[in-house]
């Protein structure tokens, strides 16, 4: 229930219009605050959650929001967009060399972190063994929203494969933490239950989640490229429907929906899709919106007056997590791989906790687990300190460990990345002859090389700017930009048009 904390009961309930008004004002404040946040070195996520707290019942806004179920629903929807956007932006070529490092960190690393924190909490508090492991499980995974936004926002240019490892881990480690959270929530509520089903449940969740992710990614590619919608904007709606379907159907049959949507998005990101650039831009915007909404909601959900009593304990657990538990998970997980100690320490430091642990902390609240309210407040404080301490010091720590690229090389690398897809050196005119096999086909189905681009088409007396859904017709004159003669030859092969000696000579 959402209402204003006011002495007059009749003024408490908010209308739909007032909720929208307050929501839009909070979004404006968040955006303007985020614009100036990096001048002071403060991650924008901290500002979003702080604004939510200030607007809440203990703050100046006086909005009372105490509905974990609604917050959990918003959190799951937001995580769908955040993970899907992160997957679409993931370059398979960059993560392929380090895929096993990332998988090991997102499974074994998360498990070791959860157990380490759980044992520490059990040792220093009056929490039961299962309650300690529950808290450890909730804070065991790095937060994809925090990692993606801070790494990309600060534009850190890191040596080697550090960045792909960090992004792959943060995008794929939520399933392990989710499974552990669900399992130990059940054990706290019903301590007579055994732990024998953890391993089969974990394997089933990962297997079904991975299988559904790739399968629906492949089906999604065919659906997006084959279906012909009347309006371009509907393709975005189609992609959103695919995202939600992937998560929900995977969860319905017993798999891990978070893993499925991330892998589905990674697969889609490597394919030639109609309106692909629009997908990437749109979902990047959606992800930012969802991050703001998620952090504002969680800020509203927490009662700062209830967090104050657990600050001492929360700080102790946070320090242990940052300096002991996370490094244990990282160093042990990366033992089989050739990763130097400086890189391991940096990976340990990027163990950012953000919104995901707070969302996971709502599960024991809704299950009625003992100590659930205290666990929620501790997790909130840990997430806050993690983003504040680790998020603000990432560039400095990277420099201390000598893991950043020199400024000149950094600028050149970023410039190369921005221009790689846009600079072509050759312009070739190709006419589609009558009865050509490609007549009636969409451009996206031609299999053109990534080093070539149809810039525009002359059809009769009209110039057409093509998209992936553009259908070729007889006698279309294609103006193709390409990087070299080899690319031109591949274009002729894809179009099934014979290349003349003059055209081959350039």
pLDDT of residue 2: 46
Which has the minimum average pLDDT: 133-137, 219-223, 303-307? 303-307
Q: What DSSP character marks residue 369?
A: -
Give the span between the Cα atoms of 461 and 52, in whole angstroms: 57
Which tens digits make up the pLDDT trace of 76-86? 998 899 889 88
The answer to whether 260 and 246 have CB atoms below 8 angstroms apart is yes
How sure is the predictor about 16, in pLDDT bands with cuts at 50, 70 and 90?
Answer: low
How sure is the predictor about 232, in pLDDT bands with cuts at 50, 70 and 90?
Answer: confident
- Name the percent of the chain lying above pLDDT 90: 22
Q: What DSSP character marks residue 11?
A: G
Fold adopted by 426-505? Alpha-Beta Plaits (3.30.70)
**Residue 309 pLDDT > 80, yes or no?**
yes
Which residue in the block uniquely carries the two structure tokens 């990282």?
330
pLDDT of residue 500: 67
| Per-position DSSP letters for 57-92, written without gaps between them | TTSSS-EEE--HHHHHHHHHHHHHHHHHHHHHH--H
Which residue in the block uniquely carries the two structure tokens 């792909």?
164
The answer to whether 470 and 432 have CB atoms below 8 angstroms apart is no
Which has the minimum average pLDDT: 204-213, 322-331, 475-484? 475-484
Average pLDDT (404-419) is: 48
pLDDT of residue 297: 83
Give the span between the Cα atoms of 388 and 386, in whole angstroms: 5
Q: Which residue has the higher pLDDT, 503 or 111?
A: 111
Average pLDDT (315-340) is: 92
- Mean residue pLDDT of the chain comes to 80
How sure is the predictor about 409, in pLDDT bands with cuts at 50, 70 and 90?
Answer: very low
**Residue 430 pLDDT > 90, yes or no?**
no
**Residue 149 pLDDT > 90, yes or no?**
no
pLDDT of residue 195: 62
In the chain, CATH 3.30.70.1450 covers 426-505
- Give the residue ranges of DSSP H helices in 368-463: 372-400, 407-419
pLDDT of residue 8: 38
Q: Which residue has the higher pLDDT, 427 or 421?
A: 427
Q: Which residue has the higher pLDDT, 158 or 103?
A: 103
How sure is the predictor about 300, in pLDDT bands with cuts at 50, 70 and 90?
Answer: confident
What does the block give as tokens for 336? Answer: 């089989």
Give the span between the Cα atoms of 379 and 381, in whole angstroms: 5
210-229 b/e (C-beta count within 10 Å ≥ 16 → b) = bebbebbbeebbeebbeeee
Q: Which residue has the higher pLDDT, 419 or 153?
A: 153
Q: Select the CATH number that applies to the domain covering 23-202+290-413 from these four: 3.40.1830.10, 1.20.1530.20, 1.20.120.450, 3.30.1490.20.
A: 1.20.1530.20
Give the span between the Cα atoms of 212 and 220, in whole angstroms: 11
How sure is the predictor about 36, in pLDDT bands with cuts at 50, 70 and 90?
Answer: low
pLDDT of residue 133: 93
pLDDT of residue 218: 93
Which tens digits make up the pLDDT trace of 267-276? 998 888 887 7
Which has the minimum average pLDDT: 370-374, 419-423, 456-460? 419-423
**Residue 413 pLDDT > 60, yes or no?**
no
In the chain, CATH 1.20.1530.20 covers 23-202+290-413
CA distances, 381 to each of 198, 235, 237, 340, 352 (Å): 28, 40, 37, 32, 13
pLDDT of residue 119: 96
Report which listed range, 3-17, 36-50, 142-156, 433-447, is most confident: 433-447
The answer to whether 304 and 102 have CB atoms below 8 angstroms apart is no
**Residue 421 pLDDT > 60, yes or no?**
no
Torsion sign, CA atoms 248, 249, 254, 260: negative
Provide the CB-side half-sphere exposure for 151 (13 A, CA).
25
Give the span between the Cα atoms of 17 and 15, in whole angstroms: 5
**Residue 416 pLDDT > 80, yes or no?**
no
pLDDT of residue 331: 94
| Per-position DSSP letters for 456-506, written without gaps between them | EEEETTEEE---TTPBP-TT-EEEEEESSHHHHHHHHHHHT-PPPHHHHH-
pLDDT of residue 154: 58
pLDDT of residue 163: 80
pLDDT of residue 408: 46
How sure is the predictor about 191, in pLDDT bands with cuts at 50, 70 and 90?
Answer: low
**Residue 40 pLDDT > 90, yes or no?**
no
pLDDT of residue 4: 42
Q: Which residue has the higher pLDDT, 225 or 116?
A: 116
pLDDT of residue 30: 67
pLDDT of residue 423: 47
Cβ neighbours of residue 407 under 8 Å, at least 6 residues apart? none
How sure is the predictor about 92, in pLDDT bands with cuts at 50, 70 and 90?
Answer: confident
Whole-model pTM?
0.74
Report which listed range, 329-338, 398-407, 466-475, 482-491, is most confident: 329-338
């Amino acid at each position: 229930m959402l209402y204003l904390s006011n002495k007059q009961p009749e003024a408490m309930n908010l209308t739909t219009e007032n909720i929208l008004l307050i929501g839009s004002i909070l979004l404006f404040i968040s955006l303007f605050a985020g614009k100036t946040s990096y001048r002071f070195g403060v991650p924008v996520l901290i500002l979003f959650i702080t604004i939510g707290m200030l607007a809440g019942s203990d703050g100046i806004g006086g909005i009372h929001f105490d509905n974990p179920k609604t917050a959990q629903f918003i959190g799951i929807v937001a995580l769908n967009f955040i993970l899907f956007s992160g997957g679409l932006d993931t370059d398979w070529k960059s993560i392929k060399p380090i895929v096993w490092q990332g998988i090991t960190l997102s499974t074994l690393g998360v498990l070791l972190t959860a157990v380490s924190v759980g044992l520490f909490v059990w040792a220093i508090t009056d929490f039961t063994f299962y309650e300690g492991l529950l808290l450890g499980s909730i804070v065991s995974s790095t937060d994809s929203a925090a990692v993606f936004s801070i790494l990309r926002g600060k534009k850190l240019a890191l040596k080697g494969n550090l960045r792909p490892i960090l992004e792959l881990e943060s995008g794929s480690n939520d399933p392990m933490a989710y499974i552990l959270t669900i399992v130990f929530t059940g054990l706290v509520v019903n301590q007579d239950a055994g732990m024998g089903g953890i391993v089969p449940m974990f394997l089933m969740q990962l297997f079904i989640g991975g299988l559904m992710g790739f399968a629906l990614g492949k089906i999604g590619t065919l659906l997006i490229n084959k279906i012909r919608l009347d309006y371009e904007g509907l393709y975005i709606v189609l992609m959103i429907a695919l995202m939600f379907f992937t998560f929900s159907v995977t969860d319905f049959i017993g798999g891990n929906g978070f893993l499925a949507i991330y892998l589905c998005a990674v697969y889609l990101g490597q394919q030639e899709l109609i309106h692909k650039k629009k997908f990437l831009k749109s979902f990047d915007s959606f992800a930012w919106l969802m991050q703001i909404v998620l952090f504002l909601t969680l800020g509203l959900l927490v009662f700062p007056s209830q967090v104050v009593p657990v600050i001492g304990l929360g700080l102790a657990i946070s320090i242990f997590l940052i300096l002991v538990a996370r490094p244990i998970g990282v160093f042990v997980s990366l033992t089989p791989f050739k990763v130097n100690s400086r890189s391991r320490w940096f990976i340990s430091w990027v163990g950012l906790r953000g919104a995901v642990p707070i969302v996971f902390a709502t599960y024991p609240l809704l299950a009625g687990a003992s100590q659930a309210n205290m666990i929620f407040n501790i997790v909130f404080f840990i997430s806050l300190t993690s983003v504040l301490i680790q998020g603000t010091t990432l560039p400095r720590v990277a420099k201390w460990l000598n893991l950043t690229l020199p400024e000149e090389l950094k600028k050149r690398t970023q410039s190369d990345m921005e221009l790689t897809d846009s600079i072509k050196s050759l312009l070739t005119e190709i006419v589609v002859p009558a009865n050509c096999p490609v007549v009636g086909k969409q451009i996206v189905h031609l299999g053109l090389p990534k080093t070539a681009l149809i810039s525009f088409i002359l059809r009769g007396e009209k110039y057409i700017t093509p998209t992936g859904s553009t259908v070729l017709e007889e006698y279309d004159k294609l103006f193709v930009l390409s990087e070299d003669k080899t690319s031109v030859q591949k274009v002729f092969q894809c179009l099934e048009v014979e290349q003349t000696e003059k055209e081959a000579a350039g």
